[in-house]
Amino acid sequence: MLPIDLAATLGPVGTALLFGAIGAGFGAALEMGGFGDTRKLAAQFYLKDMTVLKVMFTGMIVAAVLIAGATAFGLLDMSRVWINPTYLWPGIVGGLIMGVGFVLGGFCPGTSIVAASTLKVDGMVFLVGVLTGIWAFGETVSGFQGFFFSSAMGRFTLADWLGLPVGATLLLLVAMALLLFWLGDLAVARFGQGKPWAEISLRPGRTGFAAAAAIVLATVVVMARGQPTPAEKFALLGPAAAQPVEDRSIFVHPAEVVALRKDLNLQVNVVDLRDEHDFNLFHLGGARRVAPGDLARPAVLKGFLDAPASTVTFLVGNGEPAELAAWKELKALGANNLYVLDGGIDRWLELYPVPACIAERAVPAPADPDALAWRFAYATGSSLPAAWPELPSSPDFRSPCGQLVATEGEPEGGEHEGIVWPTYAFQKKVKLKAKVAVKGGCG
Amino acid sequence: MATTKEARPYVNPYLAGTLLGVVLFLAFFITGGGLGASGALTHVQTGVLSWFAPGHVDRNAYFADIAGGRKNPWASSEVYMLVGTAVGGLVSGLVNRRFKLEFRKGPRVSTPARVFFALTGGAIMGYGARMARGCTSGQALSGVATLSAGSLAFAFAIFASGYALAWFVRRLWT
């Protein structure tokens, strides 16, 4: 699936040429549309010529339909596509400021480049202004950092906002654009050309009608096809994605989890996939419970996708099958630095046992690998030392059984009123990966 | 000479928009990122600044992020795209006979006034584009194509303030 891994496949020269070629297409499309002429751009604001609106919104909806179509047919991995993060208020205020600059200067940055490249002196002057404005921003942004980073909503799409599938959102966007085109033409006829209303036909021309029908039809096809489910998407990712499951490089030994939890440079998240009952009986300290069915919900998924690069997330179930299913789903949705707890909670409790009077192995062991294999006398939550093996001893902890957990070996730094956890040998598996830093041209 | 002949007319806006949409799609499809201009201009601006005041660039967090220390502001995908954009505009201008030294302005405005407003408008545009984390291409066009919610709000904000101010500065353009 595309997009390609630029650094790995193309090298620096190839990458430069590729971006140059894309830029050339961009520049040529703008120039052909008339964006090099400041009068044509400004005419937009006096309802004389709706070229800007038409070119921009046509570009948006054509690209949006093609992108959603490519993801629907399994050609494009949306999780690796850069979606501009939403900083709502800085974006709106910035947009309002830009509108002022647009109507005073008669260009936007991209169009002034095209104007300058075709020797329009006013475009060159505007470009000098843009560079000055960018410099002024760099000099002053430290004075309003708080505002600049406010209302950060991360990767937040219209589909998330509306709570609709991508296809339906797309249809609304296309309908909105078509409505704007129609209203724009009416406004030009009435206010730009001064025709009385009686002479203006409300019916769009035949070509426009055909074009509108074509894009609506394409949108409906994308909508009917639907976006792949996480399971389908994981299959589409191919053998490379399944490799870590095959070679078990995502199954992390509990002792490695403990070691990482001690590392102050890392944010270690533990996501507990079990039901509330088992979660209340025992869970790892600081674990957050997420039902497997909720993983793909936008509000939950955002937490995984927007996590800083120094975050490692462990998925925890009683056994491995539930962990693995969740791992595949989140991987397909683009989560990074994602691992599962080798053997689940059942194994954890073997290595970091709770006092025998609180829990013991269920006999016979449950047939379901995702069932808790320990019987607890009462719910302990994360109150027992076994939930926090990385912490030093708590002087308040007294084993309720009047006996201490049997120990062997060297203390691992974690002592709980005499509890010394054994040292376990493990193979290091967690390798932090930087986020795939694909950025838009204006990033 | 091609440039002495009459310039060819611009293509139909919907056709130009479709071309733009296809280019934008290909950008996302191949590289995973969209189109843009103001990000590249930030690199250019910071690059030039670092010739004259490298120490200042290192001390300003915003500039240092682009050209601080041993970072090279010029070797970035944005700058390559910027060069491509200029080349694409140039080629289309040559082919369509619009490559011509010209100064364009509204019919009623003097040349010095047009220069002043182009400069001022450009500066305001540049400032706003950085605050919005992208310009009309990088934020509005690329963002809306990927259905980013903030980008659509941003696109409407540009048009809203442009239309709100247009009547007051009509002498510039009409």
- In tens, the pLDDT along A293-340 reads 888 887 788 888 878 888 888 999 888 888 888 898 888 888 888 899
pLDDT of residue A395: 57
In whole angstroms, give the CA distance from residue B65 to residue B43: 10
Q: Which amino acid is at B84?
A: G
Q: Which amino acid is at B70?
A: R
In whole angstroms, give the CA distance from residue B139 to residue B162: 17
Q: Which two tokens stand for residue A248?
A: 């078990």
pLDDT of residue B4: 57
Distance from the B26 Cα atom to the nearest Cα atom in chain A, whole angstroms: 8
Q: Give the one of A133, A156, A436 whose C-beta lies nearest to B124's C-beta.
A: A133
Under the banding of pLDDT at 50, 70 and 90, the label for residue A415 is: very low
Nearest chain B residue (CA) to A149: B131
- CA-based end-to-end distance of chain A: 24
pLDDT tens per residue, range A185-201: 888 888 888 888 888 88
In whole angstroms, give the CA distance from residue B121 to residue A45: 15
Domain A239-420: CATH class, spelled out? alpha beta
Is a pLDDT exceeding 80 seen at residue A404?
no
Is a pLDDT exceeding 90 seen at residue B158?
yes
pLDDT of residue A418: 56
Under the banding of pLDDT at 50, 70 and 90, the label for residue B26 is: very high
Nearest chain B residue (CA) to A55: B17
Contact: A70, B34; criterion CB under 8 Å: no
DSSP for A164-232 reads --HHHHHHHHHHHHHHHHHHHHHHIIIIIS---GGG---SPPHHHHHHHHHHHHHHHHHHHH-PPPHHH
**Closest C-alpha to B79, from B127, B44, B51:** B44
Under the banding of pLDDT at 50, 70 and 90, the label for residue B59 is: confident
List the alpha helices (DSSP H) in A306-376.
320-332, 344-351
In whole angstroms, give the CA distance from residue A294 to residue B12: 47
Would you call A109 an interface residue with chain B, using a CB distance cutoff of 8 Å? yes
pLDDT of residue A397: 62
Pairing of strands A374-376, A288-289: unpaired
Is a pLDDT exceeding 80 seen at residue B86?
yes
Q: What mean pLDDT comes out for the span B38-66?
A: 88
Question: Of all residues in chain A, what percent carry a pLDDT higher than 70?
Answer: 92
**Closest C-alpha to A102, from B105, B136, B110, B41:** B136
Asked if the ipTM is above 0.90, the reply is yes
Q: Which two tokens stand for residue A123?
A: 């475009």
pLDDT of residue A399: 65
Under the banding of pLDDT at 50, 70 and 90, the label for residue B161 is: very high
In whole angstroms, give the CA distance from residue B91 to residue A175: 34
Q: What mean pLDDT comes out for the span A209-220?
A: 89
**Closest C-alpha to A218, from A341, A63, A387, A404:** A63
pLDDT of residue A440: 45
Distance from the A169 Cα atom to the nearest Cα atom in chain B, whole angstroms: 8
Nearest chain A residue (CA) to B156: A95
Pick the residue with more confidence: B15 or A333? Answer: B15
Query: Which residues of B fall within a CB distance of 8 Å from A2?
Result: 29-30, 32
Q: For residue A380, what is the DSSP state? A: -
Do the Cβ atoms of A404 and A418 come closer than 8 Å?
yes
Residue A5: CB atoms within 10 Å: 12
Average pLDDT of chain A?
A: 84
Under the banding of pLDDT at 50, 70 and 90, the label for residue A409 is: very low
Residue of B74, B161, B169 to mutate, interface with A, max A Cβ within 10 Å: B161
Do the Cβ atoms of A82 and B143 come closer than 8 Å?
no
Query: Which residues of B fall within a CB distance of 8 Å from A183?
Result: none
Query: Is A371 exposed, middle or buried (CB count within 10 Å of its CB: 0-12, 13-18, 19+)?
Result: middle
Domain ranges of chain A: 1-29, 30-232, 239-420
Residue of B141, B171, B174 to mutate, interface with A, max A Cβ within 10 Å: B141
Is a pLDDT exceeding 70 seen at residue A410?
no
In whole angstroms, give the CA distance from residue B141 to residue A433: 30
pTM of the model: 0.81
pLDDT of residue A96: 95
Would you call A42 an interface residue with chain B, using a CB distance cutoff of 8 Å? yes
Pairing of strands A359-361, A419-420: unpaired
pLDDT tens per residue, range A245-254: 888 888 888 8
Give CA A245 to chain center in angstroms.
23
Q: What mean pLDDT comes out for the span A49-78?
A: 91
pLDDT of residue A232: 80
